């Protein structure tokens, strides 16, 4: 019989005694490790190891230690994997078995993959199936635009201008009834278009006062505004222009402080019309983004916000939905803390308020 690489010879009486002896006596007599357990769980218990918490060590270090142990055993002439008189074979030292269990435990965890590794998604990616062909939509796609004013009128259509004229005339009549001294004649659609055009022009050509655009005695005079509209007519329209129905303003003001109050009531007609036009004239491409945008203003209104990180720090804050072209598909004016609490935060509410239900499940990517 050979034990631990050392040859030993037995007499006939000793062999007979070994054959007739009980297994437990043989183990007590010849076992080289009396504390060795029969299972990995028992061995872990003896060594004070919790396999759920103590196997998360550095696998690389354990492997290096195992290699060093193997080299040391080979140098000392010890045969690797020799039987120690047990009924079953052992895989190796406890540190090696723990290392294998640690390897299995780590491999099952989620980890970063390299570019060469294949991604296994829980579900196949959705194919891009938009409801309309992405890009410019009719009538804009079927019409040859002759001038910038024609393009402008697709967003400020006749219905929006008609509403704006009606409410402006009602507001002027209300001011006259209140005793204000103004010379007023009802504004027409063409005059309203001219007024909006001059307002955009003045935003580009800065002057200290509105009256300076009609001055003829200064070195910085401009002749364009006087050719479009007289100064007094422009100032009269500018004083009385109104987007909402003045009769409904008082009703909405009485609801202030309640959930039914609409802080955008005076902008609502034109605001809703612009949003509808933005969505109707263009269908977004695959990649969408929701971001904040600031519209600069010096008006003393409660809607004005301050964002330090934006180039325009003071202004009206918008949440904007756009695609890779930068086109504004939809937008929403931020009015402060929402009265409708979803419990999921402002970011969630802003995104879901701008996402069309038709986009969901059709392959759109939202950033």
* Within-domain flag for 37: yes
Given 63, 92, 107, the domain boundary residue is: 107
Same domain, 235 and 156: yes
**Helices 189-204 and 148-155, packing angle to 10 deg:** 110
Say how many residues make up the chain: 367
Give the pLDDT confidence of 196-209 residue by residue, as tens digits.
Answer: 999 999 989 988 88
Same domain, 151 and 236: yes
Token pair of 12, please? 């006939």
Q: 27 to each of 22, 34, 108, 159, 330, how far by Cα in Å?
A: 9, 8, 39, 101, 82
Same domain, 319 and 228: no
pLDDT band at 35 (very low <50, low <70, confident <90, very high): very low
* Within-domain flag for 114: no
Domain that holds residue 145: 138-240
Same domain, 234 and 158: yes
Give the pLDDT confidence of 103-134 residue by residue, as tens digits.
Answer: 545 455 677 888 888 877 777 777 899 999 99
Average pLDDT score over residue span 274-297:
94
Under DSSP, the state recorded for 213 is: G
Q: 118 to each of 106, 125, 365, how far by Cα in Å?
A: 19, 14, 21
Low-confidence winner among 31-35, 42-46, 324-328, 351-355 (lowest mean pLDDT) = 31-35
Same domain, 152 and 97: no
Given 240, 261, 294, the domain boundary residue is: 240
Q: 318 to each of 92, 185, 294, 335, how far by Cα in Å?
A: 67, 36, 6, 9
Low-confidence winner among 32-41, 81-90, 109-118, 139-148 (lowest mean pLDDT) = 81-90
pTM to 2 decimal places: 0.64
DSSP helix/strand/coil, 136: strand
Between CA 339 and CA 318 the distance in angstroms is 18
Low-confidence winner among 41-50, 59-68, 122-131 (lowest mean pLDDT) = 59-68
| Alpha-carbon torsion angle 185, 188, 192, 198, nearest 10 | -70
* Within-domain flag for 263: no
Same domain, 89 and 171: no
Token pair of 89, please? 């074979």
The C-alpha angle with vertex 302 and arms to 296 and 308, in degrees rounded to 5, equals 45
Same domain, 93 and 160: no
Same domain, 149 and 215: yes
* Within-domain flag for 314: yes
Token pair of 261, please? 């109050």
Distant-in-sequence, close-in-space partners of 133: CB < 8 Å, separation ≥ 6 = 283
DSSP labels, 32-67: S-TT--SSHHHHHHHHT--TTTSS-S-HHHHHHHHH
The region that residue 281 occupies, defined by phi over 0 for left and psi between -120 and 50 for alpha, beta otherwise, is alpha
* Within-domain flag for 123: no
* Within-domain flag for 230: yes
Same domain, 84 and 176: no
Same domain, 44 and 100: yes
* Within-domain flag for 155: yes
Pairing status of strand 287-296 against strand 365-366: parallel
Same domain, 362 and 304: yes
Same domain, 361 and 288: yes
Residue 191 has a CB neighbour count (10 Å cut-off) of 18
* Within-domain flag for 309: yes
Q: Which of 206, 298, 192 is nearest to 236 (CA)?
A: 192
Give the pLDDT confidence of 161-201 residue by residue, as tens digits.
Answer: 999 999 999 999 999 999 998 899 999 999 999 999 999 99
The residue ranges of DSSP E strands in the chain, in sequence order, are 2-3, 6-7, 135-136, 282-283, 287-296, 304-306, 314-323, 328-333, 365-366
> What is the number of domains present in the chain?
3
Distant-in-sequence, close-in-space partners of 36: CB < 8 Å, separation ≥ 6 = 43, 84, 86
């Amino acid at each position: 019989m050979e034990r631990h690489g050392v040859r030993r010879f037995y007499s006939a009486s000793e062999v007979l005694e070994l054959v007739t002896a009980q297994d437990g006596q043989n183990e007590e007599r010849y076992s080289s490790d009396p504390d060795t357990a029969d299972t990995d769980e028992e061995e872990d218990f003896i060594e004070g190891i919790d396999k759920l918490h103590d196997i998360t060590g550095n696998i690389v270090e354990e492997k290096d230690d195992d290699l060093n142990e193997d080299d040391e055993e080979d140098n000392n002439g010890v045969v690797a994997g020799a039987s120690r008189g047990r009924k079953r074979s052992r895989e190796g030292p406890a540190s090696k078995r723990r290392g294998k269990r640690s390897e299995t435990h780590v491999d099952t965890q989620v980890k970063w993959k390299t570019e060469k590794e294949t991604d296994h998604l829980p579900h196949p990616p959705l194919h891009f199936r938009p409801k309309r062909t992405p890009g410019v939509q009719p009538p804009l796609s079927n019409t040859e635009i002759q001038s910038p004013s024609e393009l402008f009128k697709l967003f400020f259509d006749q219905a929006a201008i008609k509403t704006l004229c009606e409410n402006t005339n009602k507001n002027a009549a209300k001011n006259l009834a209140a005793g204000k001294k103004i010379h007023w004649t009802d504004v027409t659609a063409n005059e309203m278009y001219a007024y909006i055009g001059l307002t955009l022009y003045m935003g580009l050509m800065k002057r200290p006062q509105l009256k300076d655009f009609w001055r003829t005695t200064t070195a910085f005079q401009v002749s364009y505004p006087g050719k479009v509209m007289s100064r007094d007519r422009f100032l009269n329209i500018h004083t009385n222009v109104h987007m909402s129905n003045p009769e409904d303003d008082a009703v909405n003001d009485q609801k202030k402080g309640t959930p039914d109050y609409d802080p955008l009531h005076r902008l609502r007609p034109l605001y809703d019309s612009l949003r509808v036009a933005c969505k109707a004239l263009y269908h977004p491409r695959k990649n969408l983004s929701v971001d904040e945008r600031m519209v600069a203003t010096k008006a003393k209104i409660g809607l004005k916000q301050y964002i330090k990180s934006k180039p325009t720090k003071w202004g009206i804050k918008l949440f904007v939905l756009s695609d890779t072209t930068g086109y504004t598909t939809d937008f929403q004016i931020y009015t402060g803390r929402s009265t409708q609490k979803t419990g999921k935060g402002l970011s969630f509410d802003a995104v879901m308020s701008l996402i069309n239900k038709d986009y969901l499940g059709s392959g759109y990517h939202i950033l």
